[in-house]
Amino acid sequence: MKAFTVLRGIAAPLFKDNIDTDQICPKQHLTRLVRTGFDRALFSDRRFDAEGAERADFILNQEPWRKAVILLAGENFGCGSSREHAVWALVEFGVQCVIAPSFGDIFLQNSVNSGLLAVSLPFADVRKLASDALGAPGMEWTVDLPNQTIVTATGATLAFDIDPSRRARLIDGLDEIGLTLLHQSEIDAFEASQRNAAPWLWHPSHLN
Amino acid sequence: MNTYSSPQTLFEKIWNAHVVTQKGDEYLLYVDKHILHEGSTPLAFSGLRASGRRLLRPHTMIGVIDHTIPTRMRHLPPVDPQARAMMEAFHRDTSEYGVSIFDENDPRQGIVHVVGPEQGYSLPGTLIVCGDSHTSTNGAFGAYAFGIGTSEVEHVFATRTLWRKKPRNMLIRVTGEMPEGTSAKDLALLVINKVGIAGGTGYVIEFAGATVSGLTMEGRMTLCNMAIEAGARAGLIAPDETTFEFLRGRPLAPKEVEWDAAAKSWRALHTDDGARYDHIVDIDVSSLRPMVTWGTTPQDSVSIDGCVPDPSAEQDIARRASMQRALDYMGLRPGMPVSDIELDYVFIGSCTNGRLEDLRAAANVVRGRRISSGVTAIVVPGSGLVKSAAEAEGLDTLFLEAGFEWRSPGCSMCLAMNDDVLAPGQRCASTSNRNFEGRQGRDARTHLVSPATAAAAALTGRLAYPDPEQVE
């Protein structure tokens, strides 16, 4: 996973509540058997018409927003389905940071695992940022994860809180499975104890 | 925490029993049960293969094909080449790694959250995961069950564990007698309406109270299934005699002396007197009426006697805008009675409402009547066993004679990942769980309802109260 430190680029406002993962990555893209090629999947039902042509009224089809690396969204971003494809679609399109008042639980977990920074800020702050983004289109923002700050195009600086373990994982970009396997002896001990206490959880679940 | 003296909630008991180790406020939890389906696992298998890691304990997993499978002409492979490739990948991966599956030709195949309970795989006190957000369904057995993304599926493959912060714990206490014509689905929609679609975010919800104890296992599964629609990754219900009766004798449930030992441990799975919750919600269902959704989130609901709300009456500006957007998408007028909403399609099925009890409830409304001429109505049983049990009772004939289509099991039109897709603008009364924009097809309009209400809708061609005597 790519390490996340300082991100510079354009912020696009999509300030709507409850943008669910069905909207972010519609189901017709879930049958892909490789983890790439999701850039056109992002918001595809709204970005493209039935023939696949871009819809001019969608913000991510407009200059300069089509080059956005930051998305400003409403409450409960990423609610619904557990599809991690929603995160991949954002990242492949170029969006590496979503700023919203709140996020769906599963999306938040998936975002860390696929290197996307999800920043929660109070509703009023996100609304202000969204109007700043509209007011100075095409200007570069900076999201600095190590220092936990957002600097907008107008130079306004906002600090944000983030869970320390999520921050560390994004900055290090480490393989979590490898880290977990360092706890193998504790896992072994747990298994030995459970096998003794609840042997029925250890029988093969053969379906024949 | 002193676990000997402090009273614990049901959730805390299950949580504490699964902690392998702790790092700050992150806990490494042991995963007992991992159910696979073809929709979310091929990419996790590719990751595992690429890293050269082993799949741990494959013999204790089960898998099904449900998300992409066609519900018609099952003797033929799916027409969509990508769906076909996905099914083939699932066959290849599970066979290579030694996971036992119910494939498309198995009479026990079905929706992952229907099959797990049906086979006795989902057990009280266990930690269950699956790459699907409706894994919360399994919480009906007093399990901690939640959906995970692809990276975490791979993490469980390779480590049999997951890192978690301890969620907060919410109690939803339900009292009052369920009125005639209502079901667990109506209760679930009421809960989401009260809590809000993000109200449960960060929580595990325990459902309790006399009304919940009075629900069948099917009803409890419907309720826990929709915990995620209130934002909570997991919902759960303390196991009791109803749970044990359901599980006893199921193919993968413990047998003989192990059953006795298991049942003894399961009886301790209840919230202790004096245990504390972070939040408590009380709901009285005495005046519950069948619920229908009018908008594009599961919290946008009213009773069948109600009207589409008027955004201009809403004080909150953001809420007003999102209501207006939802009404535009749904093509509805503020103030119109929901019973005036005319339908093109009715879908009865899904992990929310695709079990035998659901099909019976719909059949009771339909019995001897015909569906409205303008409506296409399909019944998609949740599993092959549900289908054959329903056929043994003659429900297939009853539905077919009424004009319904009787399909083969799968997720079908709940997420429209197979060929059961609504056309743009089509309006559907659906027993599934999400009325999101585009969920059942691009620009398609979904109204979430119970099986009985869906049946009444099919008969009348509009959203209607499901009284068998009153349906015209």
Encode pLDDT of B236-246 as tens digits: 999 999 999 99
Confidence of residue B467 (pLDDT cuts 50, 70, 90): confident
pLDDT band, residue B76 (cuts 50/70/90) = confident
Q: Which residue of B has its CA nearest to A182?
A: B159
Residues of A in Cβ contact (< 8 Å) with B448: none
Tell me the two tokens of residue B310: 């008027």
d(CA B52, CA B457): 53
**What is the Cα–Cα distance from B210 to B215, expressed in whole angstroms?**
9
- pLDDT at residue B468 above 90? no
Interface confidence (ipTM) of the complex: 0.95
Considering only CB atoms, A207 lies closest to which of B53, B102, B123, namely B102
Query: Closest Cα of chain A to B218: distance in Å?
Result: 22
Question: Distance between CA atoms of B133 and B298, rounded to whole angstroms?
Answer: 15
CB B56 within 8 A of CB B34: no
Is B438 in Cβ contact with A165 (below 8 Å)? no
Nearest-angstrom CA–CA distance, B453 and B466: 5
Name the residue in chain B with its Cα closest to that of A199.
Answer: B258
Which residues in chain A are closer than 8 Å to B318, comparing Cβ atoms? Answer: 17, 74, 123
**pLDDT per residue as tens digits for the range B8-31:** 999 999 999 999 999 999 999 999
Q: What is the pLDDT of residues A99-155, one digit of tens each?
A: 999 999 999 999 999 999 999 999 999 999 999 999 988 899 999 999 999 999 988
Task: Using the predicted structure, report yes or no on whether residue B5 has a pLDDT greater than 70.
Answer: no
Contacts of B151 in chain A (CB under 8 A): 84, 110, 113-114, 176
Statement: residue B444 has pLDDT above 60:
yes
Q: How far apart are CA B17 and CA B31, in angstroms?
A: 11
Contact at 8 Å (CB) between A112 and A166? yes
**DSSP character at residue B470:** T
> In chain A, which residue's Cα lies nearest the Cα of B46?
A34
- Exposure string of B56-94, with b = 16+ CB inside 10 Å and e = fewer, is bbbebbbbbbbbbbbbeebeeebebeebebbbebbbebb
The share of chain B scoring above pLDDT 70, in percent, equals 98
> Which run of H or E residues covers position B467?
none
SS percent in chain A: helix, strand, coil, step 5 = 40, 20, 40
Q: How far is A17 from chain B (nearest CA, A)?
A: 7
* Residue B88 C-alpha, separation from nearest chain A C-alpha, in angstroms: 11
Work out the average pLDDT over B441-461: 98
Which residue segments constitute the domains of chain A, with CATH numbers given? 6-174 (3.20.19.10)
Specify the length of chain B in residues: 472
pLDDT band, very low/low/confident/very high, at A207 (cuts 50, 70, 90)? low
pLDDT band of B471, cuts 50, 70, 90? low
> Which residue in the set B30, B59, B233 is minimally distant from A105, CB to CB?
B233
Nearest-Cα residue of chain B relative to residue A177? B155
The predicted structure's pLDDT at residue B1: 46
Over 90: is that where the pLDDT of B317 sits? no
Task: Calculate what percentage of chain A has a pLDDT beyond 90.
Answer: 91
- B329, B356 contact by CB (below 8 A): no
Helix axes B184-195, B217-225, angle to 10 degrees: 30
User: pLDDT (tens digit, 9 = 90+) per residue, A68-80?
Assistant: 999 999 999 999 9
Beta-carbon separation of A180 and B297 below 8 A: no
| Cβ distance of A109 and B148 shorter than 8 Å | yes
Contact (CB, 8 A) for A90 and A71: yes
What pLDDT score does B78 carry?
Answer: 82
**pLDDT exceeds 60 at position B125:** yes
B405-406 and B301-303 beta bridge pairing: unpaired
Nearest CA in chain B to A113: B151
- Cβ distance of B147 and A82 shorter than 8 Å: yes
* Interacting residues of B107 by C-beta distance below 8 A, sequence separation 6+: B384, B385, B388
Inspect the interface and report whether the beta carbons of B198 and A190 lie closer than 8 Å: no
Nearest Cα of chain A lies from the Cα of B43 at a distance, in angstroms, of 6
pLDDT of residue A1: 73
Partner-chain contact B80 A87, CB within 8 Å: no
Long-range CB pairs of B388-393 (<8 Å, 24+ gap) are B388/B107, B389/B356, B390/B356, B390/B359, B390/B360, B393/B360
Chain CA centroid to CA B162, Å: 23
Band of pLDDT at residue B463, cut at 50, 70 and 90: very high
Check whether B367 has a pLDDT greater than 90.
Answer: yes
What is the average per-residue pLDDT within B57-67?
Answer: 96
Mutation pick from A2, A21, A82, A88 vs chain B, by most beta carbons of B within 10 Å, is A82
Work out the pLDDT band at B318, boundaries 50, 70, 90: confident
Enter the tokens of residue B125.
Answer: 């006190």
Closest CA to B118 of B213, B206, B35: B35
Mean pLDDT of B413-437: 97
Contact between chains at B21 and A186 (C-beta distance less than 8 A): yes
Across the range B252-277, mean pLDDT stands at 97
Between chain A and chain B, how many beta carbons pairs sit less than 8 Å apart? 197
User: DSSP assignment of B79-106, as one string?
Assistant: SSHHHHHHHHHHHHHHHHHT-EEE-TT-
* All residues at 6 or more sequence positions from B257 whose CB lies less than 8 Å from its CB, including other chains: none
Q: Do B24 and A164 touch (CB under 8 A)?
A: yes
A1 → chain B, closest CA residue: B151
Cα separation of B461 and B453, whole Å? 11
* Mutation target vs B (from A2, A16, A29, A30; most B CBs, 10 A cutoff): A30
Q: How far is B398 from chain A (nearest CA, A)?
A: 32
Question: Does the pLDDT of residue A161 top 80, yes or no?
Answer: yes
Number of H helices, E strands in chain A: 8, 7
CB spacing of B121 vs A205 below 8 angstroms: yes
Q: 3-class SS at A144?
A: strand
Return the residue in A180, A185, A191 with the most chain B beta carbons within 10 A, the one to mutate for interface testing. Answer: A180
Q: Which residue of A has its CA nearest to B299?
A: A18
Q: What is the pLDDT of residue B4?
A: 57
Chain-chain contact of A177 with B51 (C-beta, under 8 angstroms): yes
Chain A neighbors of B101, CB-CB under 8 A: 207
pLDDT at B464 over 80: yes
- Looking at beta carbons, which residues of chain B come within 8 Å of A176? 151, 155, 163
Alpha-carbon distance of B336 to B180, in angstroms, equals 25
Q: Which of B93, B39, B21 is nearest to A187 (CA)?
A: B21
Which residue in chain B is spatially nearest to A201 when comparing CA positions?
A: B32
Q: Are B409 and B110 in contact (CB under 8 A)?
A: yes
Host H or E run for residue B188: helix B184-195
Beta strand B19-23 with B26-30 is antiparallel
Q: Taking the mean position of all CA atoms in its chain, how far away is CA A48?
A: 22
Chain A positions in Cβ-Cβ contact with residue B322 (cut-off 8 Å): 16-18, 74
Who's near A52: CB < 8 A, 6+ residues apart? none
A16 pLDDT more than 70? yes
Residue A64: cis peptide before it, omega within 30 degrees of 0: yes
d(CA B346, CA B364): 16
**DSSP-assigned states of every residue in B360-376:** HHHHHHHTT----TT-E
Give the nearest partner residue to A33 out of B23, B42, B131, using CB atoms: B42
Residues paired with A99 in a beta bridge: A72, A119
